[in-house]
Structure 1
Amino acid sequence: MKKTVAVIGAGIVGVSTAIALLRDGHEVVLIDREGPATGTSHGNGGVLAAAAVLPVPGPGLWAKAPKMLLDPDQPLFLRWPYLPKLLPWLRRYMGEASAEAALRRAHAIAPLIGDSLADHQALATGTPAEKWLVPGDYVYAYPDRAAFEADAFTWQTKSALGFAHEVLENGAFQRYDPAMSESFALGVRQPDHGRITDPGAYVKALAAHAQSLGARLVIGEVTDFAEENGALTGLRIGGETLPCDAAVITTGVWSGPLAKRLGVAAPLESERGYHLELYEPSMMPRAPVMFAAQKFVATPMEGRLRLAGIVEFGGLDAPPSKAPFELLRRCIAKAMPELTWKHEVEWMGHRPSVSDSLPLIGAAPGLRGAFFGFGHDHVGLTAGPKTGRLLAQLVGAQRPNIDIAPFSPDRFA
Structure 2
Amino acid sequence: MTDTQKTIAIIGAGIVGVSTALWLQRDGHKVILIDRKGPAEGASFGNGGILASCSIVPVTVPGLLPKAPKMLFSPNQPLFLKWGYLPKLAPWLLKYLGHANAADTARAAAALTPIVGDSLQDHLALAQGTGAEKWIEPSDYVFVYDDRAHFESDAFGWNLRREHGFQWDEFEGQAFRDYDPVYSPDLGFAARLKDHGRIRDPGRYIKDLADHMVAQGGELIIADVEDIARENGQVTGVRAGGQVIACDAAVIASGVWSGPLAKKLGLEVPLESERGYHIEFWEPSVMPKTPVMVAARKFVATPMEGRLRLAGVVEFGGTEAEASKAPIELLRRNAAAVFPGLKASHVTEWLGHRPAPADSIPVIGELPHIKGAFTGFGHHHIGLTGGPKTGRILAQLISGRQPNVDLSVYSPARYTKAGHQ
Give TM-score scaled by structure 1 length. 0.99
CA contact (8 A) 1:246 1:370 kept: yes
Q: Who is 2:204 aligned against?
A: 201
Counterpart check, 1:45 vs 2:58? no
Letter paired with 1:283: V
SS at match of 2:132: helix
Counterpart check, 1:319 vs 2:319? no
Q: Who is 1:251 aligned against?
A: 254
Equivalent residue for 2:73, pick from 54, 60, 70:
70
Q: Who is 1:379 aligned against?
A: 382
Equivalent residue for 2:186, pick from 175, 183, 187:
183
Q: Distance in 2 between matches of 1:309 and 1:281?
A: 19
> What are the Cα deviations for residues 59-101 of structure 1, in whole angstroms up to 9, with x where unaligned?
1001110110011000000111100000000000000001111
The structure 1 segments of at least 4 consecutive aligned residues displaced by more than 3 Å after TM superposition are: none
Counterpart check, 1:211 vs 2:219? no
Q: Who is 2:101 aligned against?
A: 98
Q: Who is 1:21 aligned against?
A: 24
Counterpart check, 1:229 vs 2:220? no
Post-superposition offset of 1:231: 0.8
Equivalent residue for 1:407, pick from 405, 410, 417:
410
Post-superposition offset of 1:310: 0.7
Equivalent residue for 1:370, pick from 348, 366, 373:
373
Q: Who is 2:14 aligned against?
A: 11
Q: Distance in 2 between matches of 1:9 and 1:246?
A: 14
Q: Distance in 1 between matches of 2:228 and 2:341?
A: 55
Superposed, 1:126-145 pairs within 5 Å as 126-145=129-148
CA contact (8 A) 1:173 1:180 kept: no
Q: Who is 1:299 aligned against?
A: 302
SS at match of 1:401: coil
Post-superposition offset of 1:236: 1.1
Q: Distance in 1 between matches of 2:103 and 2:306?
A: 42
Q: Who is 1:289 aligned against?
A: 292
Letter paired with 2:10: V
SS at match of 1:256: helix
SS at match of 2:236: strand
Letter paired with 1:17: T
Post-superposition offset of 1:235: 1.1
Counterpart check, 1:241 vs 2:244? yes
SS at match of 2:176: helix
Q: Who is 2:35 aligned against?
A: 32
Letter paired with 1:369: G
Letter paired with 1:219: I
Equivalent residue for 1:79, pick from 71, 79, 82:
82
SS at match of 1:128: coil
Post-superposition offset of 1:225: 2.1
Q: Distance in 2 between matches of 1:264 and 1:224?
A: 13
CA contact (8 A) 1:263 1:365 kept: no
Matched residues, percent identical? 59
Q: Distance in 1 between matches of 2:237 and 2:300?
A: 42
Q: Distance in 2 between matches of 1:299 and 1:225?
A: 38
Post-superposition offset of 1:365: 2.8
Q: Distance in 2 between matches of 1:17 and 1:70?
A: 41
Letter paired with 1:74: Q
Q: Distance in 2 between matches of 1:335 and 1:112?
A: 31
Q: Distance in 2 between matches of 1:157 and 1:384?
A: 22
Q: Distance in 1 between matches of 2:384 and 2:115?
A: 12
Q: Distance in 2 between matches of 1:226 and 1:340?
A: 53
Q: Distance in 2 between matches of 1:225 and 1:269?
A: 22
The gaps in structure 2 that reach 5 residues or longer are 417-421
> What are the Cα deviations for residues 5-27 of structure 1, in whole angstroms up to 9, with x where unaligned?
00110000000000000000000
Q: Who is 2:419 aligned against?
A: none
CA contact (8 A) 1:4 1:245 kept: yes
Q: Distance in 2 between matches of 1:224 and 1:180?
A: 50
Counterpart check, 1:361 vs 2:368? no
SS at match of 2:260: helix
Counterpart check, 1:154 vs 2:131? no
SS at match of 1:109: helix
Q: Distance in 2 between matches of 1:226 and 1:62?
A: 42
Root-mean-square deviation over aligned CA pairs: 0.8
Post-superposition offset of 1:238: 2.2
Q: Who is 1:330 aligned against?
A: 333
Post-superposition offset of 1:366: 3.4
CA contact (8 A) 1:196 1:301 kept: yes
